[in-house]
Structure 1
Amino acid sequence: MKMKTLLMAGTVLAMVAACTPEGESSLGGDVGEDGASAETPQTAEMAAPGASVDYDSVLAGEQRSAENRARDAFRHPAETLEFFGLRPGMTVVEIAPGGGWYTEVLAGALGPQGTLYAAHTNPESSEGAARSVAGFDEKLAGNPVYANTERTVFAKGNTDTLAPAGTADMVLTFRNIHNFYIGGWAPEAFSAFYTALKPGGILGVVEHRLPEDAEDARMDESGYMKRSTVVKMAEDAGFELVDESEVNANPKDTADYEKGVWTLPPTLTNGETDRDKYVAIGESDRMTLKFRKPA
């Protein structure tokens, strides 16, 4: 695991070492400035490698737990990443990796020539955050597949430390936008995604989907977001929507549960109450949106 000091916007941020706890999403790393000159900026199209990912091998990799493999049927990682256009050798930012479900896939898919910035939470924000980051650091230290992975910080008030500006071919966020929205910092998050990307870079968003005819107030606490709201926030930050996919759709999900998206697997917040009913529905209905930073 590469643990470095991240130099961002002229400010040196002392990153927490692998033994230090953390919480929701973070990466450690000493990252240099992009070498491209202002006169000849490097775009994502110029830099992105052309090879395809061997997802059969990646998804079967020994870095993945059996528990995480079992969720492939709901999360469709190969189809999702193919849709976003991920290729080996890219520089990719994963927003809020949590326990590292997608990190296991991304690190293997990018390969030794790629770079993955795992933009985790601030470990100093709470005891829970510290524990989460410590567990994530332990994961990164435990397998050589993560030699291409650097943990950085991405949290409210620390949105400029996710990766060096203008260096990423792709920024990916899986089921996180509702947290930024509920927390009141979604515009800052989208702006940070934009800053991290090269011109022409891709922002991939997977998010729990609220029907467009639902009350907007449902987005305040349900964990579901309207597609129109997500698209507007991205466009307000400067992105253009270039494509969308139904690969993560689930028509069985009505998105109207009293306890929100956490009613469904894997959380099943109601415990044994109606458990079979919610297991039969499966994980949430999700939008899958592909945005581009103009070149």
Structure 2
Amino acid sequence: MRNLLIIAALASMPVLAGCSSNKQSEAEAPANEYSARQYMQAINDISRMDDQEQDAARKPGELLAFAQIDRGDVVGDFIMGGGYVTRLLATAVGADGRVYAFQPDEFIGFNPDYAQDQDDTVRRYSDDDGNPVTVFPLRAPLTQPGWPEPLDTIITVMNFHDLYLDQFPEGTADAAAAMLFDALKPGGTLVVVDHLAADGAGAEAANTLHRMDADLALATLTAAGFEMDAESDLYARPDDPRDENVFEATIRGRTDQFAWRLRKPQ
């Protein structure tokens, strides 16, 4: 998907006589630069006009750039919630791409509105007969989405901590991490964004504060086989003491969050 081998090959070639230093610099530059600006069509898509009031805090262009989404990609939105990320991805992957929007049965059981949110989102990207074209819905148990094909990227935003909730069976997080790893193509990436808990807070923070202990999350993901590819301070808010429930009015929408891009080895 994002083959950087060409960079190494070019960098190792001898410099030809008469080549300017400018051309040498161009040859050694990264093959793919991702920026928020290249995703303006996706950000301004008419199908997500209602989402734009959240954009200042959620930084959609920067998220897509960090995730390195390309046109034609096959992407999974793991635990799609209200569909914000799904709708953002739908245009970003283009007409040749596909987005699988997964809504777990358990979440729909907890809040039936999640089923309606999924239906409404898929409808926006369906043909005149109601057949999904770009966005395809998946409903299944939490750790068994049933992805119909190998994925280039999976994104999960503000939901990884849910895998540690006491209402789910012990080992749910480990099973989900293994499933996410298996769902990706070799070299594929998993992007995780979540509310940060205090260091050492453990799984209890997920249950009491809806926050994620970063060390616990990383241990789970690396045990599944993932390698850290990049970390971003895109959603860093150092003033957050990380000891309040994320739904408290005093902190809601202003939590300190981590953003990771993890890779499945080739």
Under a length normalisation based on structure 1, what TM-score does the superposition of the two structures give? Answer: 0.70
Q: For 1:86 and 1:249, locate their aligned partners in 2 and report how far apart those are by CA, in whole Å.
A: 22
Q: Does 1:244 align with 2:228?
A: no
Question: Once the two structures are superposed, what CA deviation does each residue of 1:101-122 show, in whole Å capped at 9, x if it has no partner?
Answer: 1111100111110011111122
The amino acid across from 2:77 in the alignment is E
On the 8 A contact 1:123/1:133 being kept in 2, the answer is no
Tell me, what secondary structure is at the counterpart of 1:70?
helix
Higher helix share: 2
SS of equivalent to 2:243: coil
Please tell me whether the aligned partners of residues 248 and 285 of structure 1 are also in contact (alpha carbons under 8 angstroms): yes
Q: Deviations over 1:150-208 (max 9, x none)?
A: 1112433xx2334135x100111001111111134111111110111011110110011
Q: Does 1:210 align with 2:193?
A: no
In 2, the alpha carbon distance for the partners of 1:135 and 1:125 equals 10
Q: Give the count of matched residue pairs.
A: 228
Distance 1:135 1:261 in 2: 22
Shift of 1:228: 1.0
User: Larger relative contact order (C-alpha < 8 A, sep ≥ 6)?
Assistant: 1
- The residue correspondences of 1:120-199 to structure 2 (distance < 5 A) are 120-122=103-105, 126=109, 128-129=111-112, 131-144=113-126, 147-156=133-142, 159-164=143-148, 167-182=150-165, 183=168, 184=170, 185-199=172-186
Distance (whole Å) between structure 2 residues aligned to residue 233 and residue 154 of structure 1: 22
Aligned-partner residue type, residue 218 of structure 2? V
Alignment of 1:91-130 (within 5 A): 91-122=74-105, 126=109, 128-129=111-112
Whichever of the two has the greater Rg, that structure is 2
State the shift of 1:138 in Å.
2.7
Match of 1:287 in 2: 258
Please name the residue that 1:232 is paired with.
Answer: 219
Q: Is 1:78 aligned with 2:61?
A: yes
The answer on whether the counterparts of 2:103 and 2:114 sit within 8 Å (CA) in structure 1 is no
Q: Deviations over 1:237-285 (max 9, x none)?
A: 111111100001112321212xx1111xxxx4xxxxxxxx547xx4321
One-letter amino acid of the structure 2 residue matched with residue 79 of structure 1: E
Q: Which residue of 1 aligns with 2:11?
A: none
**Structure 2 residue matching 1:86: 3-state secondary structure:** coil
Q: What percent identity do the matched residue pairs reach?
A: 26
Q: Which runs of 4+ in 1 moved over 6 A?
A: 50-53
Letter in 1 for 2:39: Y
Q: Using a 3 Å threshold, how does the CA distance of structure 1 residues 216 and 125 change in structure 2: closer, same or farther? A: closer
Give the gaps of 5 or more residues in structure 2.
4-31
**SS, match of residue 48 in structure 2:** coil
2:240 match: secondary structure: coil
Structure-1 residue corresponding to 2:10: none
Q: CA 1:61 to 1:216, structure 2 compared with 1: closer, same or farther past 3 Å?
A: closer
Equivalent residue number for residue 13 of structure 2: none
Corresponding residue for residue 63 of structure 1: 47
CA shift at 1:123, angstroms? Answer: 7.7
What is the TM-score when the length of structure 2 is the normalising length?
Answer: 0.77
Note if contact 1:253-1:285 (Cα within 8 Å) is conserved in structure 2. Answer: yes
Cα-Cα RMSD:
2.5
Deviation at 1:141, TM superposition (A): 1.3
CA distance in 1, matches of 2:261, 2:107: 32
